[in-house]
Chain A
């Protein structure tokens, strides 16, 4: 378990810092000071070194103190008069509790299966105990609201290669959701009025980015048709061809999310991310947002990625088959040559709404603002639109046909 938890504090006033998506800097919530990511990294590097030195010194001092206290054991047992009185009072309370005890039989330290996925940390700001999921890497203390980072989650091989910092803030996410509702003719009227955002959170979602190459051949059945008329007979000649095309094509950074709790549909649909904003990973981008480490490995994502890559390769190859009237794939033989896999944290706003006893999940790309999610459909409105349109068009067309013919 990572024992260390970091709370980025303002070097000027020690207030909590959070990453500001608009400026791309860390901002102090109290004094308003701003710092670049590089400045904060440098500051905390020095601070960590000083803390490490102080810890060594503290441990040495503690060792000396424990040796000295062992020698003067009896002196420590002496109590003053006031201490005695206080001791008596405590003893009385203890006796009363024994006579009328609280039923604590149900309390257990055993967390059962849930414990396997949970971890406890202490907030460095207020000392509260934070119970987090095993994959949590950045969170916010529910007591003091300070953003906290668990750097150990990103240590060693778990360290992401890249990060795309948030560009859009919570207000933009809320606006995007309202915009998503607009113009939706099948959305129940009550949904817009009654549904409330239960939860909105900015999350750095772990993504695997796959480089690779698709190579192989695709076989098609293609036809070329020629029609001519002689007298009262129309003749159609169709030439049938077996067409084969082989080749290769490179792909770069095809993403697949590495978080079990993120629905694949939502994560695919908010693509694409613009990779020109990719930065070298730093925990300094995390304050103010939640972050998870991956719990779906790159290997587990390979079938999903290869399916997408194979589909695009076949489509592109098919476009090279020209000069035919029709072209259909008969069979394909495509191999995927696997390249480099990178690990990146990408910004996603997750919005949860509740209406009519159901939860609705929306995801917004924290970089581009693309928002996706499944909205409820009013069956009444769907029927009204269908029959209204069909009836209206039927009447108008009938009148037009009557006028024309």
Chain B
């Protein structure tokens, strides 16, 4: 762990020197005892300009101050440099090694880009952090920044990430964290679908009732059978033959819902207190 931390700091230092080490985002520790608690932007991959880092750092600091929850931005060249099996694991390692998080609960969120293979990971930590950034919330967050990253618009993506995270934090503070049930877009889409379903049922029901009423207006119809005139008990069956012909087999893959959350909402937190996922951009 110590080695990983050193490696990460080493990368950060080199890049910080390159960018003159003046912006808050680029201010990196020069020793083990340095306090990094106010630094939220760690561009070790050097993909943003100094101004961009400063702007993001300022915004992230404001968010942290307003909501007591830190939102980190980290870029690395290759997550495998941190001896991690996945970008998600690497992000967790960095968080723990750098002692990220706000306050005693270490509440916060971190978006990490690994530039070599264009991987990303987003994680949340702490009770408030995990409450504010639900699984569904983090998935929706992906949609906000991935389109920018795919176009190499790093600043735009991170800026959107901070803006959207601030909205999530506000909703969490109001007691309604952004989730499946509280997503305004999903809500309106769901309401639209509900209305469509209600309308279809209404049309079918209306059609059935009116159709039945129409049929009751036309009662003079020719008989199609002679059921009433069949002599009861006169049916005799003297030939029965049941021949098996063939068998057809069909398979269907069952889609199962991932994670917990009872009904699709909530946050799945692992034993280390983290939630999150990783992917490609």
Contact = CB atoms under 8 A, between A and B. Distances in A.
Interface of A: 184-187, 217, 222, 229, 232-255, 263-266, 268-269, 271-272, 305, 307-309, 311-312, 315-317, 320, 361, 363, 372-377, 382, 385-395, 397-398, 401-402, 405
B199 to A, nearest CB: 5
Q: Which 5 A-B pairs have the closest CB atoms?
A: A246-B239, A390-B206, A397-B198, A394-B202, A389-B206
20 contacts: A186-B214, A234-B252, A243-B241, A247-B237, A249-B235, A252-B231, A266-B220, A269-B222, A307-B224, A312-B229, A316-B230, A316-B235, A317-B237, A377-B217, A389-B206, A390-B199, A393-B205, A394-B195, A394-B199, A394-B202
A10 B240 CA distance: 64
Given A186-B217, A234-B254, A247-B235, A391 B224 contact: no
B237 A246 contact: yes
B220 A263 contact: yes
A317 B241 CA distance: 13
A269 B221 contact: yes
Given A186-B213, A186-B217, A386-B207, A217 B239 contact: yes
Contact of A244 (B213, B224, B228, B241): B241
Contacts, number: 205
B87 to A, nearest CB: 27
Query: Chain B CB within 10 Å — which of A242, A312, A373, A391 has the most?
Result: A312
Interface stretch (B44-52, B76-84, B165-173, B243-251): B243-251
B257 interface: no
Interface of B: 190-191, 194-195, 197-199, 201-203, 205-207, 209-210, 213-214, 216-231, 234-254, 256
A112 B212 CA distance: 48
B213 A394 contact: no
A269 B224 CA distance: 10
A402 B236 CA distance: 57
B206 to A, nearest CB: 3
Contact of B251 (A234, A249, A265): A234
A316 B234 CA distance: 11
A307 B226 CA distance: 9
A393 B242 contact: no
Given A217-B239, A238-B247, A375-B217, A311 B224 contact: yes
Contacts of B254: 229, 232-234
A241 B202 contact: no
Nearest to A382: B210
B183 to A, nearest CB: 13
A311 B225 contact: yes
Contact of A184 (B217, B223, B238, B241): B217
A254 B195 contact: no
Interface residues of A, dominant DSSP: mixed
Given A269-B219, A316-B230, A243 B205 contact: no
Contacts of B194: 398, 401-402, 405
B221 A265 contact: yes
Nearest to A233: B251
Contact of A390 (B202, B216, B242, B252): B202
Contacts of A240: 244-248
Nearest to B236: A247
Contacts of A265: 220-222
A385 B206 contact: yes
Given A236-B250, A268-B223, A312-B225, 5 more contacts: A252-B229, A311-B224, A317-B235, A389-B202, A398-B198
B202 A397 contact: yes
A397 B244 CA distance: 47
A259 B241 CA distance: 44
A270 to B, nearest CB: 9
B182 to A, nearest CB: 13
Contacts of A245: 237, 239-241
A397 B201 contact: yes
A386 B239 contact: no
Given A247-B236, A398-B194, A308 B210 contact: no
Given A237-B247, A241-B245, A372-B220, A386 B210 contact: yes
A272 B226 CA distance: 10
A387 B207 CA distance: 9
B229 A251 contact: yes
B195 to A, nearest CB: 5
Contacts of A253: 229
A236 B202 contact: no
B222 A389 contact: no
Contacts of B246: 239-240
Given A239-B244, A402-B191, A249 B220 contact: no
Which one of B210, B234, B244 has the highest number of Cβ atoms from chain A below 10 Å of its Cβ?
Answer: B210
Nearest to B250: A236
A241 B244 contact: yes
A234 B226 CA distance: 44
Contacts of B236: 247-249
A402 B197 CA distance: 12
A271 B214 CA distance: 21
B245 A242 contact: yes
B259 to A, nearest CB: 16
Nearest to B239: A246
A395 B195 CA distance: 8
Contacts of A390: 199, 202-203, 205-207
Given A232-B254, A233-B251, A234-B254, A315 B220 contact: no
A311 B228 CA distance: 12
Interface centre among B217, B224, B245 (most CB of A within 10 A): B217
A312 B226 contact: yes
Given A234-B254, A394-B198, A363 B220 contact: yes
Contact of B247 (A239, A311, A374): A239
